[in-house]
Amino acid sequence: MATVTVNGVLQENGFSTTNSAGRMNGLTIGQNTIPMKDHDAIKLFIGQIPRNLEEKDLKPLFEEFGKIYELTVLKDRFTGMHKGCAFLTYCARESALKAQSALHEQKTLPGMNRPIQVKPADSEGRGEDRKLFVGMLGKQQSEEDVRRLFETFGQIEECTVLRGPDGASKGCAFVKFSSHAEAQAAINSLHGRQTMPGASSSLVVKFADTDKERTLRRMHQMAGQLGIFSPMTIQFGAYGAYSHAQMMQQQAALMAATQNSYLNPMAAIAAAQMQQMAAFNVNGLVAAPMTPSSGTSTPPGINATAVPSLAAPMGVNGFASLPPQTNGQPTNEPIYTNGIHPYPAQSPTVTDPLQQAYAGVQHYAAAYPAAYAPISQAFPQQPTIIPQQQREVCCCYFPPGPEGCNLFIYHLPQEFGDAELMQMFLPFGNVISAKVFVDRATNQSKCFGFVSFDNPSSAQAAIQAMNGFQIGMKRLKVQLKRPKDANRPY
């Protein structure tokens, strides 16, 4: 049967309907009908959809309530991964209302633990300004208890106690009122005014996090979960923008390696997450001023005429700059403190090192798009010092693994030492050696190193996942170490 695609939905030929008000919602052109929707149609959010169901699978379930104008399963922008939810617009408003009352929380799709969600999408003027987060509830308080507590302030549209997998309350809840004013009234009367049995402090009633706040919260959680980078974390402490950023990268890499057997797509996901985190920063929440100490509009550490080269003495967050190498004052400091300055130019309005880090990344992306270009373009030349370094160090105390197991890693962060390099590649297999090359005179990292695995497939997995992996303004270059006899430059 011939079909025509409209709004991404397959429409059958010659189909034409009217809604309950008698309005046409199909425009017939020749044999095809282009669907029209009511001007007051409602876009529905559909949640708790099994991830193996696509539009064509969902259509029959929803067509029962009227003609569908548009049905879109949400996919991840970068990976195409099914997000487990969808948007649905019926041609007729009434169809949406019928579907909502018939389906919302009324049935559970196969393989799901919770009932399907069918409700107006957030985009339908139903923002989150009416939704409260309620903390410090007693663990035994149910949805009903919470409702009773809040119903005096207005119409409650939703009330959910957060629970773990075992059904035990997490001691907090979301309560959505029908208006912002009602929610505000509840805050005024309830926040901090009483302590629930078993709670460690008084009741918390506040507006729920926005998306951006939620993203930030997650970033913090992730950063906190990784007790990695022991020396750097300690050293950088409150100035931890860089090390936090690295942690995030590590987290992403770890996820790539451990949560999915397909390393390549997971690396894409990890990269996508970082991009999203960076992107959300510029969009108004953070507004970290990159006050350059030089007084120019150029990011610190880079002079106005220089192309941002890999050798640029530039911290990942755009704040730190290394001291000039020509100062002739090598130090004996450990590498992770060497040349890294705290950030005296921090804006007093910026308190979050993560925000700084991601803002810095984004500023760089904007100022120097070349750094975000494909690797081959971003890094047109390779330093020629590598063969020297190999001669100098490699055979002495860097025993390589078997052929095909040794990786060359370039564009490491300045602060990375052997331990950090090792940590970064452990997820891909047994690392038998990890060596960052260090300048003997200055004791500074040369920003490249070698990693050896005990088998070639680990090495390949690491290349797949980590080559091109973005850390701050740089992308890692990860490739098999050149055999000794190969003498061509990069």
Partner DNA sequence: TAATATT
Q: The tokens of 18 are what?
A: 């009217």
455 touches DNA (CB under 7 A)? no
Stretch that binds DNA, among 27-35, 112-120, 291-299, 454-462 (CB under 7 A): 112-120
Is position 162 an interface residue for DNA (rule: CB under 7 A)?
yes
Nearest to 49 by CA among 75, 77, 69, 67: 75
Structural tokens at position 296: 């120019």
How many whole angstroms from its chain centre is CA 344? Answer: 29
Q: Does 114 bind DNA (CB under 7 A)?
A: yes
* Contact residue for DNA among 63, 81, 84, 138 (CB under 7 A): 84
- 42 or 424, CB closer to DNA? 42
Q: Which of 4, 6, 74, 480 binds DNA (CB under 7 A)?
A: 74
Q: Based on DSSP, count helices (H) and strands (E) in the chain, helices before strands.
A: 14, 18
Answer yes or no whether residue 292 interacts with DNA by CB under 7 A: no
Decide: is 138 part of the binding site for DNA (CB under 7 A): no
Instruction: Report, in Å, the least distance between residue 362 CB and DNA.
Output: 19
Using DSSP's 3-state secondary structure scheme, residue 311 falls into: coil
Which residues are CB-contacts of 79 (< 8 A; sequence separation ≥ 6)?
265, 268, 269, 272
What phi and psi values does residue 383 have, to the nearest 5 degrees?
A: -60, 150
Instruction: Please identify, using beta-carbon distances, which residue of 84 and 404 lies nearer to DNA.
Output: 84
The set of long-range contacts for 430-436, using a CB threshold of 8 Å and a minimum separation of 24, is 430/454, 430/455, 430/458, 432/401, 433/398, 433/399, 433/400, 433/401, 435/393, 435/397, 435/398, 436/412
Q: Does 43 bind DNA (CB under 7 A)?
A: yes
CA dist., res. 28 & res. 13, Å (int): 9
**Among 133, 398, 408, 490, contact with DNA (rule: CB under 7 A):** 133
Neighbouring residues of 157: CB distance < 8 A, sequence distance ≥ 6:
130, 176, 177, 178
Q: Using the rule CB under 7 A, is 123 a contact of DNA? A: yes
| DSSP designation for 323 | P
Q: Is 148 in the site for DNA (CB under 7 A)?
A: no
Alpha-carbon gap, residue 360 to 315, rounded angstroms: 9
172 near DNA (CB under 7 A): yes
CB of 88 to DNA, least distance (A): 10
**Residue whose pair of structure tokens reads 């708790």 in the numeric block:** 48
- Closest contact distance (angstroms) between CB of 391 and DNA is 51
Residue 338 beta carbon to DNA: minimum distance, rounded to whole angstroms: 37
Q: Cα 320–322–327 angle (5° rounding)?
A: 150
The minimum distance between CB 171 and DNA, in angstroms, equals: 4
Residue 157 or 454 with smaller CB distance to DNA: 157
Question: Which listed range, 59-67, 129-137, 355-363, 407-415, lies at the site for DNA (CB under 7 A)?
Answer: 129-137
Instruction: State the CB neighbour count (10 A cutoff) for residue 169.
Output: 19
Note whether 77 binds DNA by CB under 7 A.
yes
| Choice from 57, 122, 333, 403 touching DNA (CB under 7 A) | 122
Nearer to DNA, 211 or 333 (CB): 211
What residues contact 397, with CB distance under 8 A and at least 6 apart? 435
Written as six digits, the tokens of 263 are 């390393």
Residue 68 lies near DNA (rule: CB under 7 A): no
Question: Of residues 170, 220, 391, 484, which one binds DNA by CB under 7 A?
Answer: 170
Whichever of 224 and 399 has its CB closer to DNA, that residue is: 224
How many residues touch DNA under the rule CB under 7 A: the total is 36
Residue 218 interacts with DNA (CB under 7 A)? yes
> To which residue do tokens 């990159």 refer?
290
Q: Does 78 bind DNA (CB under 7 A)?
A: no
Strands 156-163, 445-453: pairing kind: unpaired
Piece of the chain touching DNA by CB under 7 A; list 83-91, 180-188, 325-333, 425-433: 83-91
Tell me if 439 contacts DNA by CB under 7 A. no
Residue numbers at the binding site for DNA (CB under 7 A): 43, 45, 47-48, 72, 74, 77, 83-85, 87, 114, 117, 119, 121-123, 131, 133, 135-136, 160, 162, 170-172, 174, 200-201, 204, 206, 208-209, 214, 217-218
